Homo-oligomer: A and B are copies of this chain.
Amino acid sequence: MLRYDHRNLLRSDLLPAAIPASRLADMQPACREAHEEILADRRADILGFYNLPEKDLGPITDFLDKLDPAFDTLVVLGIGGSALGNRALYSALKTERNLPRKIFVYDNVDPVFLHEILSQINLDVTLFNVITKSGTTAETMAGYMILADLLKKRHPADYTRRLIVTTDREKGFLRQIIKREGYPSFVVPDNVGGRFSVLTDVGLVSSAFAGMDVVALLQGAAAMRERCSEPGESNPAYLNGLLHYLYMREGKNISVMMPYSNSLYDLADWYRQLWAESLGKRYDLKGREVLVGQTPVKALGTTDQHSQVQLYTEGPHDKVFTFLSVENFAHDYTIPNLHPDRDEVAYLGGRQLSELLNAERLATEIALTRARRPNCHIAFPALDELHLGEFIMLYEIQTVFTGKLLRVNPLDQPGVEAGKVATYALMGKPGYEKERSEIKDYQAQRGE
């Protein structure tokens, strides 16, 4: 089970500026109310991620059982919630578990990035997975058109078995294409938003293809859901959410997630979307302008000790830190005592790399704590599916709970619309002519 240590968010002897116990007690009614709202949302079936541990894995298993075993690579075409969970899980486990099949995630429209992926794969044994709920995401559709066209030309007889589509069950352009062309398909459920969707087909098809134990992923999620089912100090999602809420209210507008594990760095990226998109809101539920949101930052231990820790220790008091660590790695190395006569390095001789890594994490925790920087720690006993499933559910619940405390809607993202509209206008999509002329004015004003 994940170990959650919040003491350096709380201890007044270490952190005189931190949250007094009385403040926590004052918040109990608000926490209970947030909990009741979550229960009501679950009854109304708008928090579908809570039910994913019971997901029927049959269709995924069936598909993979029948899949031509020659396929050894899968390329995800998706962006945001359709990409970050896939990448986070694969990065976490590919080396640690020696996963037998490869995953690439093309989550941009950068041509050099596409060239790089295409130069690393063999098109004849690569499966593509187009993931978009709406079926109209510009970036994903651009990638789909390029790759589907490539496949059609190279494999005219059987291109439809080389591309799968994950989209809305009934609606949307891509569902029609599936019916017309016959691509295998999977479903993005209605009641699970993109950034909460990693434990749906969105993340599970790729993960199962790569060779992960997706049953264990769901078991981990179920265990964490159980641990976070009631209010109180033993519920890490609510406790961490509450503490982050209080620090946010104190002006700490940056949340740094710092894994001491390269494998978990992309998990911090998954967290970035979840936290930023769910809580970064202009209006509260009553329509009052609130302009809230904590900016998530990913940092990497020990690497960023030599880049960011100077700022973290001495800069403004505007951050809350979350360390992630791994207690046992599948691969480890003993540092040989190459220069036993030299004090500069002899202390490292005979130690495990993982021991140094975890000592540096503790050292950084101590240094930040002495500098009065609030920090918490989530320890993974091992890098595996079970604990990743726990982590995902922990943060999904924490995010919704924190949104309730902030009185914002953690499930929408009205602020991304303007950019999409401007893109459509610039690219000449029908129906966006008025916006297009406004953009021309913007450019003209600037002499462009």
One of A32-40, A44-52, A198-206, A269-277 at the interface: A269-277
Task: Judge whether A244 is part of the interface by a CB distance below 8 angstroms.
Answer: no
Complex contact B272–A115 (CB within 8 A): no
Give complex CA distance A140, B110 in Å.
Answer: 34
C-alpha spacing A312/B280, complex, angstroms: 8
Is there an interface contact between A347 and B145, defined as CB atoms closer than 8 Å? Answer: no
Known interface pairs A303-B107, A316-B291, A336-B149. Does A310 touch B348 (Cβ–Cβ under 8 Å)?
A: no
- The copy count of this chain in the complex is 2
Docked Cα-Cα span, A111 to B357, in Å, equals 9
Contact of A439 among B347, B357, B366 (CB under 8 A): B366
Give, as a whole number of angstroms, the nearest-CB distance from A182 to chain B.
15
Q: How far is the CA of A146 from the CA of B351 in the complex (A)?
A: 11
A128-167 Cβ-contact flags toward B at 8 Å (1 or 0): 0000000111110110111011000000000000000000
Known A-B contacts A295-B297, A311-B277, A428-B347; the reply to A363 vs B423 at CB < 8 A is yes
Q: Does A185 contact B (CB under 8 A)?
A: no
Judged by a CB distance under 8 angstroms, whether A437 is at the interface is no
- Output the least CB separation between A194 and chain B (Å): 8
Once A313-B416, A424-B347 are accepted as A-B contacts, the answer to whether A335 and B146 lie under 8 Å apart by CB is yes
Point out the residue from B135, B342, B355 that lies within 8 Å of A173, measured CB to CB: B342
> At the interface, is chain A mostly helix, strand, loop or mixed?
helix
Are A111 and B354 touching (Cβ within 8 A)? yes
Interface pair B426/A367, CB less than 8 Å apart: no
- A102-123 CB contacts (< 8 Å) to partner B: 107-116, 119
CB-based contact A316/B344 at 8 Å: no
Most buried by B among A263, A345, A420: A345
A58 CB–B CB distance under 8 Å: no
Does A353 sit at the interface, judged by CB under 8 A?
yes
Asked if A113 meets B297 with Cβ closer than 8 Å, knowing A418-B367, A422-B366, the reply is no
Do B142 and A356 touch across chains, with their CB atoms under 8 A apart? yes
Distance to closest chain B CB from A24 (angstroms) = 19
Residues from chain B with Cβ under 8 Å of A336 in the complex: 145-146, 149
> Contacts of A414 on B, CB cut-off 8 Å?
310, 314
Number of interface residues of A (CB under 8 A): 131
Q: Known contacts A254-B254, A419-B305: does B109 contact A356 (CB below 8 Å)?
A: yes
- Stretch from A64-72, A77-85, A219-227, A235-243 contacting the other chain: A77-85
Cα-based distance from A352 to B349 in the complex (angstroms): 55
Q: Chain B interface: which of A15-23, A207-215, A325-333, A394-402?
A: A325-333
CB-based nearest B residue for A281: B314
Q: Which residues of B sit under 8 angstroms from A354, Cβ to Cβ?
A: 111
A317 sits at the interface (CB 8 A): yes
Choose one: B113, B277, B329; the contact of A307 (CB below 8 Å). B277
User: Can you report 30 A-B residue pairs in the complex whose CB atoms are below 8 A from each other?
Assistant: A83-B303, A83-B306, A95-B115, A108-B300, A109-B357, A109-B360, A110-B263, A111-B329, A111-B331, A112-B261, A112-B383, A113-B262, A138-B348, A138-B360, A139-B306, A141-B344, A145-B349, A146-B333, A194-B306, A269-B307, A281-B315, A282-B314, A295-B319, A310-B413, A312-B415, A351-B427, A359-B423, A359-B427, A362-B426, A363-B426
A110-B353, A292-B316 given; 19 more Cβ-contact pairs under 8 Å: A83-B303, A95-B116, A108-B300, A111-B329, A112-B330, A113-B263, A139-B356, A139-B360, A145-B338, A146-B335, A276-B315, A293-B315, A295-B295, A295-B297, A305-B416, A343-B431, A360-B419, A366-B422, A370-B418
